[in-house]
A and B are shown apart, each in its own frame.
Chain A
């Protein structure tokens, strides 16, 4: 045996031994694979997946959250919710109002900030961080500060508007302005998030294309609309999806700004229920009135809306989006 065969023989023996060990280990690997995923999977299944399926069954019950008693009542919850519940109708309308204004404004502002920030310049990171900060701060404290800013008599917003001749506005106590006030707060909260995602999308665009257009002498605006905007569409659709879902399920700002207004016994929701949203109504039905079955029916409606948005977006996304 010459040395090369000897070493290749040794190598193949080692490889065979390794293979055998691997085969013996495959079974053990599968078991430990299940073992390793099980803590995460048990939690996700118990606290997310099963509850998401359970709301469908719950929505056919009359279920009292305090006593825990339940009766099967068929589609009675849905009949009441969709045909006879004026508060729910108002909640759907006001949710749409909230979404239709908040999403485009905070996306537009976010994109505007991202385009301005999308070049190397001093203090770029600092400016980005400052615009982003509201997104990570606790909502109870920031909403509390906004309620001082909105104070009708001594609030700084009315003072600023007064300086340009706008008469006093009763922000949180008037049916007309409570929603705009909450929208303004939400835009302030989420613009930085949108800017950061748009900025990441812009950083992924091919720089050569922009250079070429610059050489062609295309003006900044037409460069943006002809090149950047279509190339950015995957990011834009992603941001749109996240914003639509986040806005349709809005609860917390409503609870803080309007939870105590409009009569605690009737569940709050602002003057004339002008700040009532689907998510907030779900919260009130479940945890102020303890109607768990009825709240489950509202959850189902909210869930279906969110699934529909996701499905629609996926459809549009796969057909219309520009891919590189």
Chain B
């Protein structure tokens, strides 16, 4: 009897402790999520409804705004069809983000394996170079990189958006850590069979490294999708412009229609939001483990 009452007392203390904690956390989370909700509200409103004060706080469900934004339906304000090459922008972004991710995976797996498992003279010095590179922010090298690409005649191309980001210090570190942790028996056994490093890496080590490779791929795909400043500088035609620069141009070209801008924003955000929500465990876990910040 006494035991039961002390258990319920402890439970009551626990609940009393948890309620304010939840209250604050839910409020905080609501504040952080609100802009996404607001994106939805504006994109589903009308040009009249979004210019009402005080603002209407719930969505009006005008789905046709999306049809107008992609040019399938005439803009009711102007009677004209918007001519924004969204499919082209999205395709460009997928090519750039996918290409960067693939290149980063290859270079990280190869270098990570060599740093972890292969003896070669000067390894320590080379690894110090990798560490030094980690200290250089991309903003500092904007100008020389632009000159390099101009000399390569790469301005306004896919490779200008892919190749400079094809090696990742984060990726090399992560792969090196993983390969250092592989049990040595695997390599000993492979050596008895006469297997060399390259075959061992290709057929045994790399297939085991799925987890860190997925983390690296997620990071670089998200970074590639969100890239804005560099593509803004090195692209000047719709043939190579990614969706972020396309959205920016759209919002600059016609600053009077927030409804369509919000619809565009939502289209650009939604794919990455879905990827993030599906893979949030790997992404948040990877950030917690490595501390990488874009």
Q: Report if A and B associate in a common complex.
A: yes
Residues of A within 8 A of B (CB): 18, 21-22, 25-26, 28-30, 32-34, 36-37, 39-41, 43-52, 54-55, 58, 65, 68, 109, 113, 116-117, 121, 125, 127-134, 136-142, 144-146, 148-149, 151, 153-156, 159, 162-163, 188, 191-193, 196-197, 199-200, 238, 242, 245-246, 249, 251-252, 255-256, 260, 279, 282-283, 286-287, 292, 295-296, 299, 302-303, 306-307, 310
CB-CB under 8 A from B194, the residues of chain A are: 21
Contact B123 A33 (CB under 8 A): yes
Q: Are A200 and B289 in contact (CB under 8 A)?
A: yes
- Separation of A28 and B273 alpha carbons in the complex (Å): 47
Tell whether A51 pairs with B144 under 8 Å between CB atoms, given A36-B114, A41-B111.
Answer: yes
Q: Is the CB of B111 within 8 A of A130?
A: no
Contacts A131-B28, A132-B280, A148-B261 known; 4 new A-B pairs at CB < 8 A: A51-B140, A129-B284, A137-B269, A307-B135
Q: How far, in whole Å, are A127 and B57 apart by their CA atoms in the complex?
A: 23
Check if B136 sits within 8 Å of A121, measured CB to CB. no
Residues of chain A contacted by B258 (CB below 8 angstroms): 148, 151
Whether the Cβ atoms of B226 and A139 lie closer than 8 Å is yes
**A140 in contact with B111 (CB, 8 Å):** no
Q: Which of A141, A155, A246, A303 is the most central at the interface, judged by chain B CB atoms within 10 Å of its CB? A: A141
| A289 smallest CB distance to B (angstroms) | 12
Contact bitstring B137-151, A, C-beta under 8 A = 1, else 0: 101111111111010
Pair B229/A32 contact, Cβ less than 8 Å? no
A29 x B143 contact (CB < 8 A): no
Given contacts A140-B228, A156-B55, contact A279 B277 (CB under 8 A): no
B residues in contact with A129, CB < 8 Å = 277, 280, 284
CA A43 to CA B145, docked complex, whole Å: 12
**Interface size bucket, B side?**
35 or more
| Chain B CB within 10 Å, residue with most, of A37, A192, A282 | A37
Contact A191 B32 (CB under 8 A): yes
- Quick one: which of B28, B108, B144, B198 contacts A55, CB cutoff 8 A? B144
Query: Please, how many angstroms separate the alpha-carbon atoms of A227 and B247 in the complex?
Result: 48
Give A113's nearest chain B residue, CB to CB: B28
Determine the distance from Cα of A242 to Cα of B294 in the docked complex, in whole angstroms: 10
State the B residues within 8 Å of A (CB). Answer: 18, 21-22, 24-26, 28-29, 31-33, 35-36, 38-39, 42, 50-55, 57, 106-108, 110-111, 113-115, 118-121, 123, 126, 129-130, 132-133, 135-137, 139-148, 150, 163-167, 169, 172, 191-192, 194, 196-198, 222, 225-226, 228-229, 232-233, 244-245, 247-248, 251-252, 258, 261-262, 264-266, 268-269, 272-273, 276-277, 280-281, 283-284, 287-289, 291, 293
Nearest CB of chain B from residue A280's CB, rounded to whole Å = 10
* Contact between B222 and A116, CB atoms less than 8 A apart: no
- A37–B284 CB distance below 8 A: no
Closest to A293 in B: B143
Q: Return the chain A residue nearest B244 by Cβ.
A: A140
A307 to B226, CA, bound (A): 27
A52-B148 Cα distance, complex, nearest whole Å: 12
Q: Is the CB of A141 within 8 A of B142?
A: no
Q: Which residues of chain A come closer than 8 Å to B57, judged between CB atoms?
A: 156
Residue pair B288, A200 in contact (C-beta under 8 Å): yes
With A30-B120, A68-B150 already in contact, the answer to whether A292 and B143 are too (CB < 8 A) is yes
Q: Which of A28, A40, A163, A238 makes the CB contact (< 8 A) with B167? A: A40
Q: Give the Cβ gap from A91 to chain B, nearest Cβ, in Å.
A: 13
Task: Report whether A159 and B123 are in contact in the complex, using a CB–CB cutoff of 8 Å.
Answer: no
Does A33 lie within 8 Å of B114, measured CB to CB?
yes
A44/B32 contact (C-beta < 8 A), A30-B119, A127-B26, A299-B143 known: no
In the complex, the answer to whether B38 meets A144 with C-beta atoms within 8 Å is no
* A49 touching B148 in the complex, CB below 8 Å, given contacts A40-B108, A149-B35, A191-B32: no
For B137, give its contact among A34, A130, A245 (CB under 8 Å): A245
Q: Complex Cα distance A51/B198, Å? A: 32
The answer to whether B293 touches A193, judged by C-beta atoms less than 8 angstroms apart, is yes
Q: Is the CB of B120 within 8 A of A33?
A: yes
Q: Are B118 and A138 in contact (CB under 8 A)?
A: no
Please tell me which one of the listed residues B119, B142, B244, B265 contacts residue A299 in the complex, with CB atoms under 8 A apart: B142
Q: How many angstroms from the CA of A310 to the CA of B29 in the assembled complex?
A: 32
With the chains together, A50 CA to B31 CA distance in Å? 43
**Complex contact A30–B121 (CB within 8 A):** yes
Cα A45 to Cα B38 in complex, Å, equals 44
* Chain A minimum-CB-distance residue to B137: A249
Residue in A39, A55, A128, A148 whose CB lies within 8 Å of B140: A55
Chain A residues closer than 8 Å to B147, beta-carbon distance: 65, 292
- Given the known inter-chain contacts A43-B167, A138-B228, please indicate yes or no for A242 contacting B269, CB distance below 8 A: no
